[in-house]
Every structure is written in C-alpha cells, then in structure tokens.
C-alpha cells in the first residue's frame, strides 16, 4: 500500500469514527432525556416490558416533552394534556404519520391497514370511509346489533358466571389468532431491529423464523378478510342486506376510491382495532367494580333511581347518570386500554418552544403518564370517580382546562380513534347492563372465607393493556331481573339472525 493510500484510509477511518461518535448522541436542539451511550443512544435502557411505566418515571425527571435516542433514531415522549395539544392536536397535518416498522412491512407488503398506513392519500381515502361509517350519527344505525350483543353478554354472565372473563371477549378464533400474531411481530423484539440495522433484513430464512410467521399471518388475514367481504358481496347481490356498513362502502366504492383489496383490509382493520380494545376495557371495569364495592353500590343506586327494575337500560339513559359517566371516565384514566396509544411520526422538522424535533421522529403519546400527571390529577394512582364529578376533565382545582379533553385514551390529532363513538356506545350499554343486573364481588377463600383481592397490576400489554384472567363472584340482583334478561335474550334472536354467518369465511373466497 502506498503512503498516499494509507493516508486516505486513515482520513476515511477518522471520518467514520467521527460520524459514528455522533450516532446515538442527543442533538443540541432536542428535548432533554436520559444520558446516552455512543452509537446505541438509550437502546440499552429502553424498557421492553410495560414500557409506559418507565416512560412515565422519566417524564417526572425530564419533563412533559422529552427525547430518547435509539441508535440514530429519535423518539419524543409526550406526557401531559397541554403537551399533547401543543405537539399533536394543533399540528394535525404534520404530526400524523406512522413510523416505519419492519414487522408491518413483512405482514402487509403492499396491502394497507388504516391503523398502520403512513399519512397520505390512501390514509385519507380510508379514513374518510370510516368517518362516514362510524360517525356519531351513523353509529345510531349500529345500535340494534350492539344492544343484542350486550344482551347476549348479560345472558352469558347469568347462565355461566364463572366464565365471565372469556364471555367478555367471545370473538372468532381466526381474528384472535390474527391479533396475537400481529402483536408478536410488531412488539419490540418481535423482529430484529431492521429499522436501526437495515442489513439484518437479509438474514436467510432458515435463521429468521419471523419471516415464515409473517407469511402465516398474511395468509390468515387474506383468507379471513377477503372471505368476509365475499359474504357481504353475496348478500348484496342476493338482496339480503342487513345494514352492515360495508354495504354502504360497496354502494359508494368509486366515490371512496377503494378497490376490492382495500375494502377487505378495512374490514379486518376494524375488527382487530375494535374487538380487543372494548373487551379489555370491560374486563378492567368488572375488576374495578368488584374491588371498589362502595363505587359499585353508588352507581347501582343511581341506576335504580333512573331506570328502576321494570325495564332494561337504553343508551340514552346515560345522560341521566352522571356518576356512572364519571366511573366510565375514571376506568379509562386509571387503566388506559392503549397506554402508549399508537406511535405517530412527524413529516417535517417541528419547532416546539426551544426544541426542534427532526422529521421522521417517533412521537409517543404517553397516555399512562398524562393521566398520572400530578399537576393535573390529585392522587392520580387512586381510583376516584368523584374527580370527574367535581370537574369535567377530572382535574384538580385551579387547573386551567382550556383545550383539555377527556379522551386521550383514544389518541390525538388527525389519527384519533375513529371508532370512539362505536366503542363508547358499546361500553355504555354494557356497563349499564352489568350494574343494573348483577352484583360483582371479589371471590372468597374456600377455606377461610376471607376475600381474595383482585390484583389490578397483574396485566399484560399486547396490542392493548388488559388484566390477566382473574376470578370474580357475579350474581343477579334479583330473580325478576334474571327472567327479564332471559326474555330479552330470546327476543334478540331476530337481530342476530340478520348477522348469521358473518364470521364464517367462505372457502371459495377470491383471495385465493
């Protein structure tokens, strides 16, 4: 090697080491955060189990807007109502992307999922369709089937109370598998960190089990989603409509600009996004009622005085049940279903106060931390529905509530959950039914007779945060109510009949 070549190599190595030295370190204009290590940044300390707990602890140390470095990538964590407004709610057009995830690319390829697709024309077309289908007004049309489903749940609690945990989430096995497999691949560590070390994508298949797993999920999704769409098309063709929203989408397919594949995936997206979220909320609700029996008794008293015993609850009754409304809000606050929502990304450099957040950062909405912020909430770790009786947003006296919201659990900005109205109706109908019909108590030790507390911290975070299986003693409040539930369940048969076969996949699906 000539002296010149050695000199050039030396300069090149110096340049590489200079560049690498910067990788992982926090840029000057970024919000503060935990100290970084060269190249890996904060990767070594980033929590993978219940990450929202550590992220909330860091928010206390580094502020409502702080940053983390995961190798060259920047993550910004937003942890107070005001910071959400400033960073996301008021910057809808630039803070509404979704970060690239290798697991998503593997499963979906060119196909699109409204939840995961990046901000752009496809997202807009899908979002518009869902907005029309799930607006507050449109949801009124879905009430009959929601009523029937809620009646079925009461009936299942009545006839088989020890299996209440599974009754709350009686969903088709294929959808359950779909969600579990998606969760396995998109959670941290589900695939190697291709986002940080792109060359890892070329690991041969025999050492990369996640590639086969992604193919399996994709095949399952396509069979299921296309099969369900085919069933709907057949029904429309045979003039056997049941009012499901996909019929509307098919009628206006051109206007919405959606092809066959996009509509099929939309069905899948909504099933996956809607099923688990509402179910884990209801499981937390039951656990809270059994644990805080004084709250349960007060909500029941309110229901008894408004609804009485001669009829079952209707969705509009909620307007006359302020304490139950407060309990519903407090369960959302106390155990948020999606404690870190779904990550956003910014499509341009954003200046926020003195900070600059570089384009393509990952923005985490720390819902858990927002609802535990001591400047806003008194005793935030305690279950106290009364906070929502004293103030609309559950905040402590003296807090400026301008621009605050009650629904951080549903996300922020333009990506805020479009299924919120549907979810709220389902939650309202079910919890009114629960408390009208049943008493929930913690179980008793069979030998000592002592009550056994439900551990409200024994939870699992998959796509959502939910309580692990627990026992609960559920008894009808009277025989008269039990008989009314049986009668209502029998009457719901005609509504269910309209939706029969909705979840049976047609083997002749066009997806093949």
| Interface positions with ligand HEM (CB under 6 A) | 114-115, 127, 130, 269-270, 273-274, 277-278, 281, 337-338, 341-342, 344, 409-412, 415-419, 422-423
Closest to ligand HEM by CB, 42 vs 269, is 269
Please state the closest distance from residue 253 (CB atom) to ligand HEM, in A: 19
Total residue count of the chain as it appears in this document: 512
Please state the closest distance from residue 467 (CB atom) to ligand HEM, in A: 14
Phi, psi of 74, rounded to the nearest 5 degrees = -110, 135
How does DSSP assign 101-112, residue by residue? Answer: -HHHHHHHTT--
The C-alpha atoms of residue 114 and residue 123 are separated, in whole angstroms, by 6
H/E run at residue 480:
helix 479-498
Closest to ligand HEM by CB, 275 vs 435, is 275
Give the Å distances, CA to CA, from 314 to 147, 189, 404: 8, 45, 29
Closest to ligand HEM by CB, 278 vs 346, is 278
Closest to ligand HEM by CB, 122 vs 439, is 122
The C-alpha atoms of residue 208 and residue 466 are separated, in whole angstroms, by 30
Please state the closest distance from residue 276 (CB atom) to ligand HEM, in A: 9
**What angle in degrees, to the nearest 10, is found between the helix axes of 479-498 and 136-159?**
130
Closest to ligand HEM by CB, 130 vs 194, is 130
Please state the closest distance from residue 340 (CB atom) to ligand HEM, in A: 9
How does DSSP assign 183-229, residue by residue? Answer: HHHHSTTSS--TTT-GGGGGS-GGG-HHHHHHHHHHHHHHHHHHHHH
Please state the closest distance from residue 184 (CB atom) to ligand HEM, in A: 20
Please state the closest distance from residue 114 (CB atom) to ligand HEM, in A: 5
Closest to ligand HEM by CB, 350 vs 476, is 350
Judge whether 381 and 372 are in contact, CB under 8 Å: yes
Please state the closest distance from residue 429 (CB atom) to ligand HEM, in A: 13
Closest to ligand HEM by CB, 307 vs 422, is 422
Please state the closest distance from residue 425 (CB atom) to ligand HEM, in A: 9
Give the Å distances, CA to CA, from 42 to 148, 192, 213, 254, 319: 49, 17, 29, 47, 47
Question: What b/e string do you get for 178-195 counting C-beta neighbours within 10 Å, with b at 16 or more?
Answer: bbebbbbbbeeebbeebb
Closest to ligand HEM by CB, 172 vs 452, is 172
Judge whether 97 and 119 are in contact, CB under 8 Å: yes
Closest to ligand HEM by CB, 59 vs 139, is 139
Please state the closest distance from residue 456 (CB atom) to ligand HEM, in A: 17
Q: Which two tokens stand for residue 3?
A: 């002296």
């Amino acid at each position: 090697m000539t002296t010149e070549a050695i000199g050039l190599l030396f300069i090149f190595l110096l340049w590489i080491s200079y560049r690498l030295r910067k990788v992982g370190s926090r840029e000057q204009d970024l919000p503060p955060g935990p100290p970084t290590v060269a190249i890996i940044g904060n990767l070594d300390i980033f929590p993978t189990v219940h990450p929202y707990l550590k992220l909330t602890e860091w928010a206390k140390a580094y502020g409502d807007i702080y940053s983390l470095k995961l190798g060259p990538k920047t993550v910004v964590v937003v942890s107070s109502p005001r910071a959400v407004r400033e960073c996301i709610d008021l910057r809808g057009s630039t803070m509404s992307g979704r970060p690239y995830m290798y697991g998503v690319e593997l499963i979906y390829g060119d196909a699109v999922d409204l939840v995961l697709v990046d901000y752009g024309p496809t997202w807009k077309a899908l979002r518009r369709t869902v907005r029309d289908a799930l607006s507050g007004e449109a949801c009124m049309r879905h009430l009959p089937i929601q009523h029937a489903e809620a009646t079925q749940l009461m009936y299942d609690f009545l006839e088989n109370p020890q299996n209440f945990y599974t009754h709350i989430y009686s969903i088709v096995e294929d959808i359950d598998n779909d969600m579990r497999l998606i969760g396995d691949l998109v959670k941290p560590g589900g695939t190697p960190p291709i986002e940080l070390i792109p060359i890892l994508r070329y690991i041969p298949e025999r050492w990369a089990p996640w590639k086969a797993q992604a193919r399996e999920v994709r095949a399952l999704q396509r069979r299921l989603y296309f099969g369900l769409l085919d069933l709907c098309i057949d029904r429309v063709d045979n003039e056997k409509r049941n009012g499901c929203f996909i019929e509307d989408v098919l009628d206006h397919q051109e206007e919405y600009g959606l092809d066959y594949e996009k509509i099929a995936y939309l069905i899948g997206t909504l099933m996956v996004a809607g099923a688990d979220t509402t179910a884990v909320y209801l499981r937390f609700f039951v656990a809270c009622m059994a644990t805080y029996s004084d709250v349960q008794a007060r909500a029941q008293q309110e229901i008894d005085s408004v609804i009485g015993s001669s009829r079952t609850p209707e969705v509009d009754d909620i307007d006359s049940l302020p304490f139950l409304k407060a309990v519903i809000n407090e369960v959302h606050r106390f155990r948020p279903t999606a404690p870190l929502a779904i990550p956003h990304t910014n499509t341009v450099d954003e200046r926020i106060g003195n900070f600059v957040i570089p384009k393509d950062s990952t923005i985490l909405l720390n819902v858990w931390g927002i609802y535990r912020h001591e400047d806003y909430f008194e005793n935030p770790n305690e279950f106290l529905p009364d906070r929502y009786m004293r103030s609309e947003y559950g905040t402590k006296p003296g807090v400026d509530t301008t621009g605050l919201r009650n629904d951080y659990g549903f996300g922020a900005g333009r990506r805020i959950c479009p299924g919120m109205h549907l979810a709220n109706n389902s939650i309202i109908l079910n919890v009114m039914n629960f408390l009208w019909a049943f008493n929930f108590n913690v179980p008793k030790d069979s030998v000592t007779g002592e009550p056994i507390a439900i551990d409200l911290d024994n939870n699992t975070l998959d796509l959502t945060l939910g309580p692990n299986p627990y026992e609960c003693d559920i008894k009808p409040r009277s025989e008269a109510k039990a008989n009314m539930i049986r009668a209502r369940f029998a009457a719901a048969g005609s509504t269910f009949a309209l939706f029969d076969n909705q979840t049976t996949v047609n083997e002749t699906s066009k997806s093949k």
